[in-house]
Amino acid sequence: MTTMSMIKALNEGLRRVLEDQPKSLVMGEDVGRLGGVFRVTDGLQKDFGSDRIIDTPLAESGIIGTAIGLALRGYRPICEIQFDGFVYPAFDQLVSQLAKIPNRSGGRVRLPVVVRIPYGGGIGAIEHHSESPEAYFAHTAGLKVVTCSNPNDAYWMIQQAAAGDDPVIFFEPKRRYHSKDDVDTESAGLDLYRARTLREGRTATLIAYGPTVDVAVNAAAAAAEEGTDLEVIDLRSLSPIDWEPLFASVRKTGRAVVVHEAPGNIGVGAEVAARLSEECFYSLESPVLRVTGYDVPYPASRLEDDYLPNLDRVLDAVDRSLEY
């Protein structure tokens, strides 16, 4: 075990990918000499050269389009979109080309492209720097969508994403970048597309991913002090979703609360709530509730603490669930 921040864990994971896969490369705005605005790629260009750690122009559509061309020629690009809100100029390349070419070719063409996107709020940033666009991509057939919530997952999941032959949108919760935890550098322990149960419980199930996993864990700890036993599940993969652990948990507890930063309207939580209602209807003791960001543009930094799901909002949802 080694203690690392999430930034360091991602850096070390990328380093292992570059060492193990000669055709892999990293490309994006300021990823080379600067080491990325969050320093996730710090030192990689010095060690692997500017032909593998490539500083690109400020052109997200060009970054993804070039990565698709490189993948068609046998390379394995790992792209960085500098901030979540910058991904939209690349949307056409992502959903019309990257997601579609393998199917368009009848499976003869594979596109092993990873697109890293720092996402979410909590860092006091300006407009376009605190978005949560994961639902757009989870809705798009042909793309895998995953998100880490801790350094150990960050270290292993980036390697697993880069090892596959499918396009993967890899969301990194930026407000968790500096969180530190133990990283097992010898064993991943879990497949990329599997959910993880972080805490066992019998009263209700909290389902979260990315930046809100820590909120859910803290809420469960606070609830335990009052005698409420909450189970906590980290989705990790948003497309595909690992449904069986969710079904098993809700059939046991009879109640579920889904937590995420993105707006609630037609978000990942809406899909989770719908599927749980379909599959666990006769086990549910209350409706599946959601604690999400509000259905408004992400607010100015001085208001973001009121926008983001927090411990009190999660516990309030649990209380409402228990009132049924």
Q: Which residues pair with 55 in a beta bridge?
A: 28
Q: How many residues does the chain have?
A: 324
Query: What distance in Å separates the CA atoms of residue 261 and residue 134, rounded to the nearest whole number?
Result: 10
Provide the CA 34 distance to its chain's centre, in angstroms: 24
- Angle between helical axes of 311-322 and 213-224 (0-180°, round to 10): 60
In the annotation, is 260 catalytic?
no
| Helix or strand (DSSP H, E) at 261 | strand 256-263
Are the beta carbons of 24 and 18 closer than 8 angstroms? yes
Pairing of strands 196-199, 230-234: antiparallel
Cβ neighbours for 303, distance < 8 A, ≥ 6 positions apart: none
Are the beta carbons of 145 and 169 closer than 8 angstroms? yes
Cβ neighbours for 221, distance < 8 A, ≥ 6 positions apart: none
Identify the active-site residue in 129, 139, 178, 260.
129
On the CB side of 215, how many CA atoms lie within 13 Å of its CA? 27
Are the beta carbons of 201 and 231 closer than 8 angstroms? yes
* DSSP helix/strand/coil, 32: coil
* DSSP helix/strand/coil, 312: helix
On the CB side of 282, how many CA atoms lie within 13 Å of its CA? 0
Provide the annotated active-site residues: 129
